Amino acid sequence: MTMKRYKLETGGVRVLHTVGMTGEEADRRAVEKAAEKIRRETGVRAENLKIARKSVDARRGEISFVYTVCGEVTAGGRAAARIEASGARGGEIRLHSDPVLTPVKGDRPLEYRPVIVGFGPAGMFAGLVLASEGYRPLIFERGGSVEERAAAVERFVRDGVLDPECNIQFGAGGAGTFSDGKLTTRISDPLTAWVMESLHSLGAPDDILYKSKPHIGTDVLRQVVKNVDARIRSLGGEIRYHSAARGIRDGVLTTPDGDVPFDALILATGHSARDTVGELIASGFSVEAKPFSVGVRAEHLQRDIDEALFHEHAGDPSLGRGEYQLSYRRGERGCYTFCMCPGGVVVPSASEEGGVVTNGMSERARDGVNANAAVCVSVHPSDFGGSPLEAIAFQRELERRAFEAGGRTYAAPYQTVGDLLAGKRGTEYSKIVPTYRGGVVTPADFADLLPPFVTELLREGLADFGRKLKGYDDPAVPLTGIETRTSSPVRILRGEDGCALGHDGIYPCGEGAGYAGGIVSAAVDGVRCALKLMAAHGPSPEA
């Protein structure tokens, strides 16, 4: 009988959490249960078992850890038939394969090195793939290095002095560098696993490979971004910081270093490069407005969130900090929480002078006093006129109003949930201290700053969230705004070959181009664009 080696994974392994149970003990029990499940289903013993995914389920009044476990078996005969049949029909025990990237290179060599504009997740991963395959990409980033960004952000938080070219939005790693470093994604692309393995190899923690809601934390992510920079350079790539691309015409990119000719360019500028969008529209690129969301940041005491989710188990280190995701819908419009940061802070995220923008950030330990999340309302193209420039103008106007309400000092307007629901102007905060710039906030009325449809749905959504998660609508909860950069408001249209319509060799990519929403999906799109570029062209002789 011929024996065959199989890699398997089995899902739905549940371990009930008990008081005092450590995470390591729960993991051990999960592996034991998975081994027994595989033996029972296949008749053979699994080897090299490891946890592939792990989540916490607190929905049933009791808390369980839920696992998917991977292992290997050697089987033949009936056991092999059962394994192969299970893999074919997607049963509980499935065939498993490790992520592999297999680029195909075109016959036509590039005349010049491929150019990448932007060094956020999409640009970083496009650069990694191209550099690994010998293309020696040339990367332009308008912002600074990780160290330069950290200094600029610290100055803005401390003194309210904004650098429009180097800030939370612009610079090495993109907006994600100063965030929670969330790696959750709704896409089911097989390249996701390859991206996660790559991040791990570049210094991200082990648990990103199996946690259902993985995060890196801004402190660790900054080192990962530095490692990506070093890896690309070691493979022959070049990265030029403080080099904003100011025009793309007839195969030439205008940069501070002069005109750079190209025959393949990946455009990965991020969702805040509004000037670039205007230049593209003026140059004849096909750009359309797309839905996005705007709102405020809600802050709760982290211990209150933990108690609402975990009850008497709150504070158990094996459970970590409590996380939530809430949504409410009325008709065609929704209100939802976004980018929840356990133990984090609200950060000033403006990239243009005269505007206030909020976002959330937390470190790996997530050990801050407050939890925060955006509470956002969906905005449709019909709400602002429908064109891409009107979409940008809509965002800018809200940011300008917030700047004015904060006294033109980059203080953020804030209002408590109780005041918003009661229709009252913001009063002084009490038990929960806003974390934006260490509490540099000004009482305001969001009904004066946001469109009526946003304010109305915020009120309905917050009341609904309070019914779903105890204490969410506590009157003392501070709301800080304005949150406008949840996603790009535009999409740069591209064809099946990945190129911008009517512009061969230019690949709109990532969140700024309207094809991603978060670190992982942007990274995956960067990989896909690099693969399409390579499928059309081999490396240039210069490379």
Bridge partners, 454 (sequence order): none
pLDDT by residue, tens only, the chain of 543 residues: 678 888 999 999 999 999 889 999 999 999 999 999 999 888 899 999 999 999 999 877 789 999 999 999 999 888 888 888 776 455 678 888 888 898 999 999 999 999 999 999 999 999 999 999 999 999 999 999 999 999 999 999 999 999 999 999 999 999 999 999 999 888 888 899 999 999 999 999 999 999 999 999 999 999 999 999 999 999 999 999 999 998 899 899 999 989 999 999 999 999 999 999 999 999 999 999 999 999 999 999 999 999 999 998 899 999 999 999 999 999 999 999 999 999 999 999 999 999 999 999 999 999 999 999 999 999 999 999 999 999 999 999 999 999 999 999 999 999 999 999 999 987 888 889 999 999 999 999 999 999 999 999 999 999 999 999 999 999 999 999 999 999 999 999 999 999 999 999 999 999 999 999 999 999 999 999 999 999 999 998 865
Q: Are strands 370-379 and 478-483 parallel, antiparallel or unpaired?
A: unpaired
Q: Are strands 441-443 and 333-341 parallel, antiparallel or unpaired?
A: unpaired
The pLDDT score that the predictor gives to residue 45 is 92
Beta strands in 142-205 (DSSP E): none
* Residue 339, phi then psi, degrees to nearest 5: 55, 55
User: Please, what is the angle between helix 218-234 and helix 146-159, to 10°?
Assistant: 150
DSSP state string for 221-278 = HHHHHHHHHHHHHHTT-EEESS----EEETTEEEETTEEEE-S-EEE---TT-HHHHH
DSSP state string for 475-496 = TT-EEEEEE--SS-SEEE-B-T
What span, in angstroms and rounded, lies between the C-alpha atoms of 73 and 176? 40
The pLDDT score that the predictor gives to residue 94 is 84
What span, in angstroms and rounded, lies between the C-alpha atoms of 487 and 122? 14
Bridge partners, 252 (sequence order): 249, 261
Which conformational region is residue 220 in: left (phi greater than 0), alpha (psi within -120 to 50 degrees), or beta? alpha
Beta strands in 302-444 (DSSP E): 327-330, 333-341, 345-348, 358-361, 370-379, 412-416, 441-443
Domains of the chain: 4-95 (3.30.70), 108-288+488-538 (3.50.50.60), 291-483 (no CATH)
The pTM (predicted TM-score) of the whole model is 0.94
The pLDDT score that the predictor gives to residue 222 is 97
Q: What is the dihedral of CA 66, 69, 75, 76, to 10 degrees?
A: 50
Structure tokens at 435: 């974390």
User: Which class for 302: exposed (0-12), middle (13-18), buried (19 or more C-beta within 10 A)?
Assistant: buried
If one counts every other C-beta atom within 10 angstroms of the C-beta of residue 159, the result is 10
What span, in angstroms and rounded, lies between the C-alpha atoms of 432 and 4? 60
What span, in angstroms and rounded, lies between the C-alpha atoms of 463 and 450? 18
The pLDDT score that the predictor gives to residue 188 is 83
The pLDDT score that the predictor gives to residue 423 is 92
The pLDDT score that the predictor gives to residue 1 is 63
